[in-house]
Structures are given as C-alpha cells and as structure tokens.
Amino acid sequence: MAYDEELAGRIRVLVGDRADLTEQKMFGGLAFLIGGNMAIAASGQGGILVRVDPDRSDELVATTPAEPMEMRGRQMAGWLRVDTADVAGDAALGEWVERGTAYAASLPPK
C-alpha cells in the first residue's frame, strides 16, 4: 500500500514553511523531518507515524487513539501509530503534527 498523498499534503500544510524541514521517503511512507529528525510521517500502512518523547509514549497510548509502533515485532518507545480515521479532522491531525514537530525540534540536528 502506498502512503496517502492527500494525508501527506495535509501534514505538509500543517508543518508549514520551516528552513529546517525536509521530506524523505521512509517506512514505506513520506516522512517530515525537522533538523534531520523524523517528526511525523504519512505511513505506507495507512494513517500516520509520530515521533514523541519516549517518556510520554505510555501516557499518549493510554489517553489517545495512538498505538505503539512495532518494527520487526518490537515496540519502539517514542514512535506512535495513529489510524487514518483518527486524524480525519484538521484539529486532530494538527495536535499530532505539533507533538511530532515539537519533539523533533528539541533534538540536536543531524
């Protein structure tokens, strides 16, 4: 499954025009990176992948529709998956874009 180009376009608008923003195909989708650190991606499996502070992962899984991202059978702390239906509205998507970009921007540039 290819990533949802409409969803990627919505993310692009919400991320805005940043000098340190790049786009890169990864995880079968289109990722948006801040200073070389992935912030959020339109996933090739549908929905979005969001990078958040690993210390907040459990809290966000418990209080939002997010699920831990799994890679090769392992859960990745700080990486969350959110289904397409849960980011259908711009406000919901905007919250995840803000979480992802704020965390990525807090990391040292690569």
pLDDT tens sequence across 2-13: 899 999 999 999
**41-65 pLDDT per residue, tens:** 999 999 999 999 999 999 999 999 9
- Tokens 């690569």, residue located: 110
| Residue-by-residue DSSP string for 66-84 | -EEEEETTEEEEEEEEE-G
List beta partners, residue 69. Answer: 76
The confidence band for 73, taking pLDDT boundaries of 50, 70 and 90, is confident
**96-110 pLDDT per residue, tens:** 999 999 999 999 998
Kindly report the pTM of this predicted structure: 0.94
Query: Phi/psi at 65 (nearest 5 deg)?
Result: -80, 5
* CATH 3.90.1150.30 assigned to 5-106: yes
**82-99 pLDDT per residue, tens:** 999 999 999 999 999 999
Domain ranges of the chain: 5-106
Rounded-to-integer distance, Cα 105 and Cα 34, Å: 6
